[in-house]
């Protein structure tokens, strides 16, 4: 074989081998780095840009796509111990001309974490209002979406700052009393009785505990490799102390039923989406909301757990779009009447 041809194959082989070896090394040795790269790539692929906003000495980290237009902007609030990138699975199915904003909740990811901050649900709602004012999102009423803890905050926000929003989507929101205890609530009671409250099921510190948390939160059984489970744990462990503090704050008496206490003040058209097989927050909460909020549209998703955003992203995105289209149609009818 010609020496130049041989050299060409060697160079080509080396060029291919380097990224493959780097990927394998990252997967085996630094799975947490691979997870961060994954989110970075996904954000870029979907056109989401990361920005920071400052309110005095407090910093908010958020991602966005599009610009404010004739349709309402959409602000998304994630759940406990998650981050803004959890919404990427939904963003994938939303039109690119919609103005979307996903913010890291107080103390999470790139948003300021302070021991002096108020992490109660009302305290978080106040912080989100500061963020909204920082980026002038409330120049026009916007659509607010929240899931789990973020759903609790979103509901309280809608009650406390009604002039800011035009409509509301609550996905398996926390903050409601339930007539039926979920599997998670039963686990918490057992841990309290055995005085092992430090082992909160939503705060894993081993790959095995991470696998258990995923089973608790999802009806769909995802096959997650051990290395990825380890990476997910590695990413969370440095924050677990904060998550424990936050958890105790949001289950405290002044926050535990915040959404329920503010339901009567919610005047915006409201959409509720809940997984029928939710093991974290029982689906009976949907009927509680429906009976208290006048203009409430409820959708129960079959074969779906607490992680609605991950398990049924296309369906969730479509429901939000259909809800906004319905409200737009109703608004037009009123103007023509």
Whether 144 is in a domain gets the answer yes
Residue 108 designated active-site: no
Whether 25 is in a domain gets the answer no
CB atoms within 10 A of CB 234: 15
Q: Are 280 and 306 in contact (CB under 8 A)?
A: yes
pLDDT band (50, 70, 90) for residue 337: low
Whether 20 is in a domain gets the answer no
From the list 32, 278, 282, 307, the catalytic residue is 278
From the list 148, 218, 255, 307, the catalytic residue is 148
pLDDT band (50, 70, 90) for residue 281: very high
- Of 159, 152, 155, 156, the C-alpha closest to 173 is 152
Residue 278 designated active-site: yes
pLDDT band (50, 70, 90) for residue 31: low
Q: Are 224 and 214 in contact (CB under 8 A)?
A: yes
CATH code of the domain in which 292 resides: 3.40.50.1820
pLDDT band (50, 70, 90) for residue 193: confident
Query: In this model, does residue 315 exceed pLDDT 90?
Result: yes
CB atoms within 10 A of CB 73: 24
From the list 104, 282, 306, 307, the catalytic residue is 306
Whether 112 is in a domain gets the answer yes
Whether 1 is in a domain gets the answer no
Domain count, the chain: 1
According to the model, what pLDDT value does residue 231 have? 87
According to the model, what pLDDT value does residue 334 have? 73
The pLDDT of 4-10, averaged and rounded, is: 38
Residue 143 designated active-site: no
According to the model, what pLDDT value does residue 92 have? 97
Whether 255 is in a domain gets the answer yes
Query: In this model, does residue 24 exceed pLDDT 80?
Result: no
Query: In this model, does residue 8 exceed pLDDT 70?
Result: no
Query: In this model, does residue 107 exceed pLDDT 80?
Result: yes
Residue 146 C-alpha from the chain's centroid: 7
Q: Strand 100-103 to strand 270-275: parallel, antiparallel, or no bridges (unpaired)?
A: unpaired
Domain that residue 234 falls in: 47-336
pLDDT band (50, 70, 90) for residue 179: confident
Whether 110 is in a domain gets the answer yes
CA–CA dist 1, 145 (Å, integer): 64
- Of 229, 226, 230, the C-alpha closest to 214 is 229
Whether 36 is in a domain gets the answer no
Q: Which residues contact 116 (CB under 8 A, 6 or more apart)?
A: none
């Amino acid at each position: 074989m010609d020496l130049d041809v041989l050299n060409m194959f060697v160079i080509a082989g080396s060029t291919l081998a380097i990224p493959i070896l780097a990927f394998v090394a990252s997967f085996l040795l630094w799975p947490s780095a691979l997870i961060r790269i994954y989110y970075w790539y996904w954000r870029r692929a979907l056109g989401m840009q990361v920005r920071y906003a400052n309110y005095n000495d407090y910093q908010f980290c958020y991602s966005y796509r599009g610009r404010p237009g004739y349709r309402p902007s959409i602000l998304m609030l994630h759940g406990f111990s998650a981050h803004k990138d959890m919404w990427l699975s939904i963003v994938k199915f939303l039109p690119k001309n919609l103005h979307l904003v996903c913010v890291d909740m107080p103390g999470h990811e790139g948003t300021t974490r302070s021991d002096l901050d108020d992490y109660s649900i009302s305290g978080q709602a106040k912080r989100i209002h500061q963020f909204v004012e920082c980026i002038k999102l409330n120049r026009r009423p916007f659509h607010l979406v929240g899931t789990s803890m973020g759903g609790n905050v979103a509901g309280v926000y809608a009650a406390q700052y009604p002039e800011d929003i035009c409509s509301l989507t609550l996905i398996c929101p926390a903050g409601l009393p339930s007539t039926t205890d979920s599997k998670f609530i039963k686990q918490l009671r057992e841990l309290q009785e055995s005085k092992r409250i430090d082992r909160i099921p939503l705060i894993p510190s081993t790959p095995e505990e991470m696998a258990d948390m995923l089973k608790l939160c999802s009806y769909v059984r995802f096959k997650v490799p051990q290395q990825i489970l380890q990476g997910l744990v590695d990413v969370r462990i440095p924050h677990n102390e904060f998550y424990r503090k936050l958890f105790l704050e949001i289950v405290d008496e002044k926050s535990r039923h915040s959404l329920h206490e503010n339901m009567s003040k919610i005047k915006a058209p409201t959409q509720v989406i809940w997984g029928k097989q939710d093991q974290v927050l029982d689906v009976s909460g949907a009927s509680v909301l429906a009976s208290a909020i006048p203009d409430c549209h409820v959708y129960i998703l079959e074969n779906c757990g607490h992680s609605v955003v991950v398990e049924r992203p296309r369906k969730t995105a479509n429901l939000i779009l259909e809800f906004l289209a319905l409200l737009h149609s109703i608004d037009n009818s009123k103007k023509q009447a």
